[in-house]
Structure 1
């Protein structure tokens, strides 16, 4: 048994022996913990503010993007799950097929994934400053949030990280579920918003790619394709069950946020506390505090979990066999946490970006560039290691083309949005 497996086993025994119902909790985390971690990666600062901003400014008209994201996410996770079963990490495939340019490409996409962490730490710093009035320093808050992220990485044991992330994700989930239950929802308008429609308006197109970029989360595919030594699953259906739970959780939370925001928020620029204002109005001021705590938790776990992808990608691009939590993995993730926090600080000081603007734009940048690259790499990798049926390839290629076309359509829109903010 490997050192990491033995450590995980010790952690598991502790949970089962000490926590009431520990065996059932461990069983659930073992079956669905990876999907929960993927949901936590997705539902960070970007998702909270993109979904709220979309609901406030476009009402229900972009709800159709969420079921589209579900279908695309299922297809892509199925490809990365097959790579996991074969224990063929996606980064290894890219280096093999691009022996000259593969390594710099992978380092580049890893740095691009760090843009999520940049925005998450910016929001986490702002949330800390809001929650602790006497503190009131966003920049110091960013440093503290990065320190929390490093602590998560240094926990080393996969089961513990899953458990922490599970608690944080469901705290966010519960706050919006509670709010939605008390609202008078116009379900006919909600149903009408599920009908696909495209517009040429710059803000609309940027919102579409931002939604796809924040829900179809490409670092998760690198993580999943590399996770077999940790999970030790050899049955594709274990991954499919886990993926379905994680994706369903993500999109359920997403639909809650978008619907609540469409009903309760007014058009205009999103503020740090904006998505939580309806909670305060309906439940009381304490609910706004709960929302900000949930945002803080979600940003830290999303920033850290997103960089888990780079924790695999960069060592693998250098030819190292890397497993979750080993020294190379931890050094890479911690280095990128420090880099992300250090990047967030000058961006807030010297550009027109605020924490919320960063949370909305960074996923859109990743959705426009990193996501299409990852999708077509997945298609190539799964065809190399598996005998894929023609109808499966049609579905995979269709998902890739939707993302590529969406990316091409929104590049100018995204560029103009960034220039306007700067």
Structure 2
């Protein structure tokens, strides 16, 4: 039983996409559209499972990361260097923005419980909670032990699962309406939110992270069944958390809610003071998990793109994640509100994801690289269907933005 229930690298994927950005987007989906976008969350999870299985299979079979494989398959030196610059730029800019939002979100959850957390230094007002969160993330990353990171994130993901599911049950949802929410609805007014839900669940840097970390647990293609089971269980658990957040948000009516902390406060008069604490703890856990995985992913991508052979404890690897973590703590401590940046990043992810997914599908059909473990016809059909769905939603989302300008 212990072996059956054991989950590993997939937990880092779930921990990465269940961050404050996800909590915010899912909360707003519930507040704005009720239960009607639950189907979009299920679609997002299915897309995530399909793509992350490919990334995990690539990592287990080749024992290499996605960025290393992509660049090794490009023979033209100019194109390869250009691609490396694009990947590194996207990871540094994107993960730095995410990190600010991750730490700010975790601090927001804790501040909801603690109250005022500002201290005045000279003429500046500084929030000390982001520094505390940064120190926790720094400590876990600096240890440089994959097992410590994995076990810490498993605990935090379980905390999120319990807190958000309790919050959803507390709202006493109308189950007939919940069931209707799983019926697809592509109404124009919901399209950007659908793109946002996909973008916040299927995070491009997760594809790089997953392909890199599976080699820490599994060393041969014989372990593929275990890797698949791990991915499905962990991602499904993350999906359950997202669904619970949408259901919680749907219980709020006629109240201005812009983030999960507002959701916690708005539920308090109806469901008691515990609602505030439960949701705030969940938001804090979401911030911590993503504050760890975003710098870690950046470290792996830079390591692979530049051909470093050093591991988690090397100074070069540590310098990358320290830089991302420092930016996140700095922006969050100075009170720079990253909410709009994070929401933009979620939509941008939904639009950029087809490009990354296209690269992944191309790589997964290279017999010289994967041998008999290339995509089957069925996997390619599903993969290209997923790619078409993301292209459709991305184009429609861009068109809607242009029309509204």
Q: TM-score, normalised by structure 2?
A: 0.86
1:36 aligns with 2:11: yes
Equivalent pair of 2:9/2:213 in contact (CA under 8 Å) = no
Secondary structure class of the residue paired with 1:184: coil
> Which of 91, 94, 102 pairs up with 2:83?
102
Equivalent pair of 2:171/2:271 in contact (CA under 8 Å) = no
Instruction: Provide the rounded CA distance (Å) in 2 between the counterparts of 1:278 and 1:175.
Output: 16
Residue-by-residue CA offset, 1:264-313 (whole Å, 9 max, x unaligned) = 34464414522223653455324413422331221021122123221111
Equivalent residue, structure 1, for 2:385? 398
Equivalent pair of 2:39/2:182 in contact (CA under 8 Å) = yes
1:92 aligns with 2:68: yes
Residue-by-residue CA offset, 1:10-32 (whole Å, 9 max, x unaligned) = xxxxxxxxxxxxx95xx578x30
> Which of 22, 27, 40 pairs up with 1:65?
40
Secondary structure class of the residue paired with 1:100: helix
**CA apart distance, 1:374:** 1.9
Equivalent residue, structure 2, for 1:114? 96
Secondary structure class of the residue paired with 1:64: helix
Residue-by-residue CA offset, 1:69-98 (whole Å, 9 max, x unaligned) = 122112101211221122132101232324
Equivalent residue, structure 2, for 1:13? none
Equivalent pair of 2:108/2:261 in contact (CA under 8 Å) = no
**CA apart distance, 1:362:** 2.8
Equivalent pair of 1:230/1:324 in contact (CA under 8 Å) = no
**CA apart distance, 1:411:** 2.9
Supply the RMSD in Å over aligned alpha carbons.
Answer: 2.7
Equivalent residue, structure 2, for 1:260? 248
Residue-by-residue CA offset, 1:207-230 (whole Å, 9 max, x unaligned) = 111111111122221112112441
> Which of 285, 289, 296 pairs up with 1:308?
296
**Shift in CA distance, 336/260, structure 1 to aligned 2, threshold 3 Å:** same
Moved more, 276-285 or 190-199: 276-285
Equivalent pair of 2:66/2:211 in contact (CA under 8 Å) = yes
**CA apart distance, 1:254:** 1.0
Equivalent pair of 1:57/1:267 in contact (CA under 8 Å) = no
Instruction: Provide the rounded CA distance (Å) in 2 between the counterparts of 1:229 and 1:326.
Output: 18
**CA apart distance, 1:103:** 1.4
Equivalent residue, structure 2, for 1:215? 201
Instruction: Provide the rounded CA distance (Å) in 2 between the counterparts of 1:102 and 1:167.
Output: 37
- Number of aligned positions between the proteins: 385
Instruction: Provide the rounded CA distance (Å) in 2 between the counterparts of 1:407 and 1:147.
Output: 37
Moved more, 78-87 or 328-337: 328-337
Instruction: Provide the rounded CA distance (Å) in 2 between the counterparts of 1:55 and 1:413.
Output: 21
Equivalent residue, structure 2, for 1:123? 105
> Can you give the 5+ residue segments of structure 2 that lack an aligned partner in the other structure?
120-125
Instruction: Provide the rounded CA distance (Å) in 2 between the counterparts of 1:243 and 1:125.
Output: 29
Residue-by-residue CA offset, 1:352-392 (whole Å, 9 max, x unaligned) = xx3544443332222222x2222112112111223432232
Which residues in structure 2 correspond to 1:20-31 (within 5 Å)?
A: 24=2, 31=6
**Shift in CA distance, 411/180, structure 1 to aligned 2, threshold 3 Å:** same
Secondary structure class of the residue paired with 1:60: coil
> Which of 100, 118, 130 pairs up with 1:142?
130
Secondary structure class of the residue paired with 2:81: coil
Instruction: Provide the rounded CA distance (Å) in 1 between the counterparts of 2:113 and 2:402.
Output: 33
Instruction: Provide the rounded CA distance (Å) in 1 between the counterparts of 2:385 and 2:42.
Output: 15
Equivalent residue, structure 2, for 1:169? 157
Equivalent residue, structure 1, for 2:239? 251
**CA apart distance, 1:162:** 1.7
